[in-house]
Structure 1
C-alpha cells in the first residue's frame, strides 16, 4: 500500500536528483571526498598528536622539559656583548671563505658536502676544513686527526693551523658536549682555543654558536635549554679571552619557538641538513670579520692535505640509548639532488647500520635527464631513477648523504642553419649603384636644382661660361674657376655638359640679380 504521507520538499528534490543519469557519479565523488577527509583527520592526529611518527617508523613523544622551554630565557644577549658578537656586514665573497679554516665536529664535516644553490661546488674542501665526527672540545689539543703528504703521522688541530697558516679560524664545537657540565665545557674550550692561538697567533679566532636542535629529535636527553645555556657561556668566554662570537643561531632557529627551523636538520634533529648549511653560510658571509693581514710573508709552502683520518672516533657521545642502555645503531641518511630535478620520497631518514632505506626517486625537470646517484659512503650500484639504499655497517654518526645528479638535454642544432639564410638582404647593394647612375641621367635635365652643390664642380668643365655658375659658392668660385687641375680632369665627365649652353645662361640671369646688389 502506498503511503499517503506528504514528503518534505527536500525529500522530493533528493528523489528527483537520484533518478537523473548523473546521480551515480556525483554520489561516488561525494563518498570519495568523505573518505579523504577521514584519512586526513587520522593522519593529522597521528603526526601532530602527542606521539608523532618519524621517517623510520618509530614514535616520538615530547619530553616534559620541552613543554616548559622558554625561547627567550637563556638566549645570547647581543646588546650586552656588542663588541664580541659579530654584527651584520656586507656580503663577503668566496675569497673570505677560502682564507678561513673551519674546525669542528660532524656538522663541520657537512660543509664539504653542500654548496650554494645551483652550484655543485661545496662551501669548503679538505684544504680549509678539519671536521671530525663525534669530536668534543676536550680533544682539540690532543686528538691527532689531520694528515699531510710527507708526514708519517697525523697532527692535532693546533698543529694543523700552524701548518696551514689561515687568515682566520671559525671553530664550532659543543653538540657532542651537551651532556657535560657547562663549567667543565668552558674550561676545556678555553684550553683548546689557547693552544690554537699559541700555535699560530696571526689568525683571528671566531667561535661559532652551537646549532639549535629540532624539537622532534632522536635523543630527547638533549634539550634546547642546554644549547642556550652553553651558547651564553661561550659568548662570555669569547669576551673574556678576546675572541669573536658568530651568533649563527639567529639564522638557524625559529624566532618564535627557539627550536631549529623546519627542514634545517636531518631526521635525528641534530645534524644540519642542506637547507641548514646553506642558511649558515649565508650568515657567515654577511657577518664577516676582516682585519689587517698580519701573517708573516711570504707564507710557508703548505704540504698537500690528505684530510682527517677516517673512523677516528667509533663511539657516538650523543647517540640515542636503547632499552638495554646500548647505543642505537641508527644513523641519519639524507637524499639531496643537483640542479635540474627533484626527489620523490622520504629525503631524510634514520636507518640502522646494515638496514635499507625506503625508496627515493629522482624526478628530472623538463629538458633534463637523470645522470646517476652518488653516496658519501657505500654503493648505489647501477640503480636507475628509483633507489633503495642499504646503509653500510661502518657508517658513523655523521650518517650518509646520497646525491641524485641530472644533466641538461642539448638543444636540437637544426634551427641554427636558418639564420644563415638571412644574409639574402645582401642583394641590397643593387640600390647603391643606382644613385651613382642617377647623376649621369639627371645631367641632361636640370642639374642645378637637383643637386645645387655638385653643379659648381661641373662648372669648371667649360671655363668660359661656367664663371656664371660660380655664384653657387659666391666668392671662392671665381677664384676656383681657372683652377687648372679640375678643369682638365673633368672634360671627359662634362662632355654631356657642353651641349648645355642654354641652361647655363638661365642660371646666370637669375644669379646676377642677387649678386649685383
Structure 2
C-alpha cells in the first residue's frame, strides 16, 4: 500500500545524495570533525580550565595593579648624591680582578659558577672564590655554617671563610630572598653581617652589590620592583655611612625605560639571572673596578683545599610562588644553555614541577662542529642524544636546574702526502768525465794536469817507429812525475782529449790509456 505522506524537497535531495558513491566518505569526514570539536571543548574546560596552554611550563601571569603605577625612575639610586660610594666607570680590570675577589651571596651568586664569557667554557668564578647559598638571606650571614674545607670536621660561616681564604676584596650580594622584609630590619641585619666579615678579616675591601631587578612577568607577583628599589636605596645609604663601596649593577641589568629587567636577563621565574644577565653583570663588575693598595699581611697563610657549600642547606624557598591555601609551589626554574659551536631549538627557559618533565630541547651543531653530550647541575640526562626531554629531580631547590649542551669541532680531513718527485739527473759539465779503466795499469799513469813539460805527440802525428820525446826522455819511455820507469817496462802513450773517431794504432811496445783516467 503506497504511503500518502508527502516528502519534503530537502528530503528528496538528501536521499539522492546518499545514493551517490561519494556519500559515505563525506559523512565520515563530517562525523570526524564533530568528534574532534567535542574533544577539544572537553580538554579546554576540564584540563586547562579555559586558559591557554603554556608550552614553557611557566605559570600563567596577570599584571598586578601595583605594576601599572610603577615609576621607572622615582625610586632608583641617585648616583650623583653618593659620589665616592658608588663605583664609577674604570678600564676593564680583567680576569685577574675577579680571581682576587671572593663572591658571597644567594642563589644568583651560585650561578656565577655556571656561566662564563661568550665563547669560553670556563665560568666567571669557581668554588675557590665563590660562596653562594641557595635561598639564603642577610640575616644568616654571621650565623649560617655553610662553607667546607678539607681537614675541618664541620662547615664555617661566611665571615670565618673570608678569614681562611684571605681575599683581596669581597663582593657580596644579598636581598632577593629578603624582598618581603621590612626595610629597616633588612638594613640592620645587613650591617651586622658586614661587620662580622670586616672584623674577621679587616684587610679585604668590601663591595656591596645591588639587588638585581625582576622581570615584569615574574612567577611570584607578590615581589615588586618598588621593593627592590627601596632596598637598594637603603643599601647605598648604609654603604655611605659604614664606609663600604656600592656596585650599582642595576644599571647593566635594567631596561632604562621600564625599570624592569631587560628581556632574557632572567629565567622563566623572573627572579634568577639567566646566562645573558650574568654576562652583563660581570662586564659591569670588571669595568667598575675598585683596586686599592694590597695591605694583606705577607706571606699569606696557606689556604686549605675548598670543598664548597653544603648541598641542600636551606630547604625552604622564601620567594617561591604561593599556590592555593598558601602552599609553596613545587615548580623550579630549568634553563638550557650550550657551549661554543652550536645553538638550541626549543623553550630554553622553563618552570617545571619537581618530578615533572620539561618540553624537549634540541642541540643543533654549527657547520664543522658536532654534538658531544648534555650535562646537568643536578639529576641525570642519561644517554640522551641531541634532543633532550629532561625530568626534574625531586630534590631540586629554588636555584633550579641548568642543562648544558656541549659541542666540539670536527677534526679536519687528513690531506694526502704528495709523492716525492725524482731528483733531476746532473747535467754534464763542459769537461768530459774521467773514464775509469776496468784494470789499473802496472805503473802509475800521470794525470793530465801533472803531465811533464814535454808534450806527448798526437796519435795522428805518431810515426811508425817509437815516438821520440823532445826532451831527455827516451823514445821507449814515458816520463813519470817523480821517478822514471825501468827501460824494460813498456811505454804508455797518453792520447789527447780530442782523440779522433778512428785513432791511429799505437806503436809496438806501448799501451794505450784513455785520456784523464784516474790512477
Structure 1 length normalisation: TM-score? Answer: 0.71
In 2, Cα distance between the equivalents of 1:230 and 1:218? 20
The alignment yields a C-alpha RMSD, in angstroms, of 2.1
Partner of 1:138: 139
Change (3 A) 1:226 1:100: same
Native 8 Å contact 1:51 1:61 kept in 2: no
Partner of 1:391: 392
CA deviation vs aligned residue, 1:135-162 (integer Å, no higher than 9, x gap): 0000000000000011111000000000
In 1, Cα distance between the equivalents of 2:409 and 2:101? 34
Native 8 Å contact 1:51 1:60 kept in 2: no
Partner of 1:59: 60
Change (3 A) 1:364 1:183: same
Matched, 1:257 2:261: no
1:51 deviates by 9.1
Partner of 2:474: none
Partner of 2:223: 222
Native 8 Å contact 1:53 1:60 kept in 2: no
Structure 1 unpaired stretches of 5+: 1-49, 438-517
Partner of 2:112: 111
Partner of 1:483: none
Native 8 Å contact 1:165 1:299 kept in 2: yes
Partner of 2:13: none
Native 8 Å contact 2:59 2:219 kept in 1: no
Partner of 1:126: 127
Structure with more helix by fraction: 1
- What is the SS of the residue equivalent to 2:237? helix
1:397 deviates by 0.1
Partner of 1:364: 365
Runs of 4+ more than 4 Å apart: 50-54, 426-430
Once the two structures are superposed, the pairs formed by residues 103-502 of structure 1 within 5 Å of their partners are 103-414=104-415, 417-418=417-418
1:294 deviates by 0.1
Structure 2 unpaired stretches of 5+: 1-50, 431-519
1:58 deviates by 3.3
Q: Count residues with an aligned counterpart.
A: 381
CA deviation vs aligned residue, 1:422-477 (integer Å, no higher than 9, x gap): x99x97998xx99xx9xxxxxxxxxxxxxxxxxxxxxxxxxxxxxxxxxxxxxxxx
In 1, Cα distance between the equivalents of 2:52 and 2:296? 55
In 1, Cα distance between the equivalents of 2:426 and 2:142? 82
CA deviation vs aligned residue, 1:390-449 (integer Å, no higher than 9, x gap): 00000000000000001111111115x35x86x99x97998xx99xx9xxxxxxxxxxxx
Change (3 A) 1:57 1:203: closer
CA deviation vs aligned residue, 1:237-264 (integer Å, no higher than 9, x gap): 0000000000000111101111000000
1:324 deviates by 1.5
1:56 deviates by 1.0
1:53 deviates by 4.8
Partner of 1:469: none
Change (3 A) 1:249 1:427: farther
Native 8 Å contact 1:52 1:61 kept in 2: no
Partner of 1:94: 95
CA deviation vs aligned residue, 1:370-395 (integer Å, no higher than 9, x gap): 10000000000000111000000000
CA deviation vs aligned residue, 1:34-55 (integer Å, no higher than 9, x gap): xxxxxxxxxxxxxxxx999572
